[in-house]
């Protein structure tokens, strides 16, 4: 349809870069703004209109590079001296044409480098100088790519032998890749800290994020994301009844979302109220029969109570819903014992 395709090169720099960043800037966490989903982004928007990307606090410092991640090319390029000194002129499309696969990549990308640096560079550059990318953008192992290597887009003048190792990537302070409206800064940062802290098992980061969310709750009293994150932290701390109270608020706001009932069921299970746990887990399956976790949690709850008949009924339902599920098949081997579900 005429006019439906957006050419990023014709957009303002921030919107232009956002088109690439939607896929090539994963960061540590992506936090949707209130009422938004990641999929709501459309070309011609700034990414921050829909969601914010959080990166490690040391990542924006070119002198302290982290280990290479797969989906971080936009972040790496923005840290390069070339990009920082181009005043916004160097972007992904400077070197990459989505409609062209160069027959001679070495010569193709060399010409892109010389279009900025000029052919005069060839007289002063040490030899060999025919393959710019091989020297200044080497391929490196990625920490999150499972035995794969990816091109390092930092365009270093003298690339370090190894710019970081997975063991050194301990949780650090998170920062927004691009500035947010003041009203969203504490909300989005708190959500990011809880998400990254839980993933990296950093109690300090989870606690810090939880404090931010509790502090901004008066401004976001009916925000499902904020309430769910607070409830998850309470649940992780073993405060089942407090978590159930929070998740009940989420259910009132979003009564048709199955995961809300799953969270409520887990909260009551933590509070040792199996009757309520079963009630809410069943409600989760009523709203989404293809949600796997409620089946497993129901089976564990019945198993711990010694109700083997209901374990079998639940596992039969699980297998019918997921006939190809390896977990359902293997759990069925010993479904009369509680150890099968732990």
**What distance in Å separates the CA atoms of residue 90 and residue 2, rounded to the nearest whole number?**
28
Say yes or no: 162 and 220 in one domain: no
Look at residue 288 in the predicted model and tell me its pLDDT. Answer: 98
Look at residue 215 in the predicted model and tell me its pLDDT. Answer: 98
Q: How many domains does the chain have?
A: 2
Residue 326 burial (C-beta neighbours within 10 Å; 0-12, 13-18, 19+): exposed
Least confident among 60-69, 71-80, 104-113 = 60-69
Question: What single DSSP character describes residue 147?
Answer: S
Render pLDDT for 121-168 as a digit per residue (tens, 0 to 9).
888 888 888 889 888 888 877 665 544 557 888 788 877 665 544 444
**What distance in Å separates the CA atoms of residue 192 and residue 29, rounded to the nearest whole number?**
6
Least confident among 2-11, 138-147, 214-223 = 138-147
**What distance in Å separates the CA atoms of residue 281 and residue 170, rounded to the nearest whole number?**
36
Look at residue 125 in the predicted model and tell me its pLDDT. Answer: 87
Structure tokens at 301: 């709850």
Say yes or no: 98 and 130 in one domain: yes
Query: In sequence order, what are the residues at sequence separation of 6 or more whose Cβ sits closer than 8 angstroms to the Cβ of residue 250?
Result: 224, 227, 228, 231, 257, 260, 263
Name the domain boundary from 137, 167, 197. Answer: 167
Domain-embedded: residue 26 = no
Here the CATH number for the domain that contains residue 243 is 1.25.40.10
The pair phi, psi for residue 239, each rounded to 5°, is -95, 75
Domain-embedded: residue 235 = yes
Q: Which one is predicted more confidently, 233 or 160? A: 233
What is the arithmetic mean of pLDDT over 297-303?
Answer: 95
**What distance in Å separates the CA atoms of residue 229 and residue 195, rounded to the nearest whole number?**
8
pLDDT surpasses 60 at 65: no
Contact between 221 and 244 under an 8 Å Cβ cutoff? The reply is: no
pLDDT surpasses 90 at 297: yes
Say yes or no: 161 and 278 in one domain: no
Domain-embedded: residue 242 = yes
**What distance in Å separates the CA atoms of residue 73 and residue 139, rounded to the nearest whole number?**
12
Render pLDDT for 237-275 as a digit per residue (tens, 0 to 9).
999 999 999 999 999 999 999 999 999 999 999 999 999
Q: Which one is predicted more confidently, 153 or 2? A: 153
Render pLDDT for 169-216 as a digit per residue (tens, 0 to 9).
555 789 999 989 999 999 999 999 999 999 999 999 999 999 999 999
Provide the mean pLDDT of the chain.
Answer: 86
Domain-embedded: residue 146 = yes
What is the arithmetic mean of pLDDT over 52-72?
Answer: 65
Can you give the residue range of the structural domain that contains 152? 55-167
What is the arithmetic mean of pLDDT over 312-326?
Answer: 92
Question: What single DSSP character describes residue 139?
Answer: E
């Amino acid at each position: 349809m005429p006019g439906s395709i957006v050419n990023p090169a014709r957009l303002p720099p921030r919107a232009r870069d956002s088109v690439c960043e939607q896929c090539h800037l994963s960061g540590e966490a992506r936090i949707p703004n209130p009422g938004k989903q990641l999929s709501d982004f459309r070309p011609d928007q700034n990414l921050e209109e829909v969601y914010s990307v959080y990166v490690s606090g040391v990542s924006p410092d070119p002198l302290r590079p982290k280990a290479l991640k797969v989906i971080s090319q936009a972040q790496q390029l923005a840290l390069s001296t070339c990009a920082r000194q181009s005043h916004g002129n160097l972007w992904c499309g400077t070197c990459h044409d989505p409609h062209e696969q160069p027959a001679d990549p070495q010569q193709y990308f060399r010409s892109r480098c010389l279009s900025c640096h000029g052919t005069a560079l060839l007289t002063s550059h040490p030899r060999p100088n025919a393959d710019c990318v091989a020297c200044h953008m080497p391929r490196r192992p990625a920490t999150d790519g499972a035995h794969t290597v990816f091109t390092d887009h930092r365009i270093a003048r003298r690339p370090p032998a190894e710019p970081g190792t997975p063991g050194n990537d301990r949780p650090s302070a998170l920062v927004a890749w691009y500035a947010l409206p003041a009203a969203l800064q504490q909300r989005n940062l708190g959500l990011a800290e809880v998400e990254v802290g839980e993933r990296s098992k950093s109690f300090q980061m989870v606690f810090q994020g939880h404090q931010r969310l509790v502090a901004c709750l008066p401004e976001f009293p009916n925000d499902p994301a904020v309430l769910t994150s607070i409830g998850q932290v309470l649940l992780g701390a073993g405060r089942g009844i407090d978590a159930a109270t929070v998740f009940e608020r989420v259910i009132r706001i979003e009564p048709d979302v199955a995961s809300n009932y799953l969270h409520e069921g887990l909260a009551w299970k933590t509070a040792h109220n199996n009757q309520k746990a079963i009630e809410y887990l069943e409600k989760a399956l009523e709203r989404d029969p293809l949600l796997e976790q409620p089946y497993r949690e129901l089976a564990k709850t019945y198993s711990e109570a010694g109700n083997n008949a209901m374990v079998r009924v639940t596992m039969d339902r699980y297998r019918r819903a997921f006939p190809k599920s390896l977990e359902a098949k293997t759990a069925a081997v010993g479904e009369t014992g509680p150890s099968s579900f732990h």
